[in-house]
Amino acid sequence: MELARIGIINRTINMLDFMLADASGVYEKHGLTVQFDLLGGLRSIEALRGGELDVVVSIGAAVRAIMQDQTPVRVALLVHRNGPHWVMGKPGVTDALALKGGSVQAGDRGTEPDLMVRKWLRASGLEPDVDVELTYEKAHAGWTDDGPEPAETAAIARTLEREVLEAKGYAPLVELASTFPNTLIHGLVVMRSTIEARPAMIDNLVAAHRDVSAMIDEASPEALSFIKQNWGVDDGRARSAVASLNGVFVARRDVADFGPVIASSAEALGMPPIDVADLVTFA
């Protein structure tokens, strides 16, 4: 068995494929033992460069690292595309302007949700970090029925979390992935040196994610059981979650998938876009 140390952003359902592949034995089937650390965005790229991790998922952060200092990272596989992220306003907050003077929990610094929240606020006439404070957590565990409410004026919620916050009186203000389509993507991001030194590990990860993405899209018994047990939901909520995520876990290699995130990152940094061949291993 070969060890792969993987940085996933959190343990919410948007990381379902990684957690399910581990729990159901898919990684083991492909000769892999995995260890997860909860890191996203710029922190994950720093850990990858420092040799603390073998794989991370933040494609947008990888693009920006290449643009800023030619960090030798590459994407071996696209694994997620347009997973829902709602910004939920606390009771009484029904639009973006009501956030002025308040705060938004924006995931992890340097991730696509962070950039998307900033774009949405500016489009609404608000300046991030001036009119609205943005807060970050290393490993947001997700909003649960019996857990605390967000401390902020608004917070990001994912599939299974939106209805939890709605039950607490929160209202959706925007869904980021549909407002800024095809920029919220995740993948298997590795150092160029890893491609040369450990090609079998990368090939096995690619094969494992193709298997687990099919399990999720097919609403397999293993996927449904894992969702029910891991997030404490009934069969109906588990099936609804899988239906809403159909097509999100894609496990594919298509260079056309990366144009929007490259363009979005170039706009965010005010820098020229990179060529897709500088980002992916399969161009």
Name which CATH class applies to 2-82+182-278: alpha beta
Cα angle: 121, vertex 181, 204; to 5 degrees: 125
Strand extents, DSSP E, 125-266? 133-135, 154-157, 171-175, 185-191, 249-252
* pLDDT for residue 127 is more than 90: yes
Confidence of residue 109 (pLDDT cuts 50, 70, 90): confident
Q: What is the pLDDT of residue 112?
A: 87
Question: Confidence band (pLDDT; 50, 70, 90) for 283?
Answer: low
Question: Do 2-82+182-278 and 86-179 come out as alike in CATH topology?
Answer: yes
Q: For residues 14-43, give the mean pLDDT.
A: 95
pLDDT at 139 over 80: no
Q: Please tell me whether residue 184 adopts helix, strand or coil conformation.
A: coil
Lookup result for tokens 């608000």: 126
pLDDT at 137 exceeding the cut of 80: no
Domains of the chain, by residue range, sit at 2-82+182-278, 86-179
Lowest mean pLDDT among 96-100, 110-114, 137-141, 170-174: 137-141
Please give the average per-residue pLDDT across 226-241, as a whole number: 94
* 168-204 pLDDT tens trace: 999 999 999 999 998 899 999 999 999 999 999 999 9
Q: Write out pLDDT tens, residues 201-211.
A: 999 999 999 99
Cα 223 to Cα 7, 14, 88, 112, 247, distances in angstroms: 21, 13, 27, 26, 15
Structure token digits, residue 142: 């997700």
For the domain with range 86-179, which CATH number is right: 3.40.190.10, 3.40.50.10320, 1.10.40.60, 1.10.10.60?
3.40.190.10
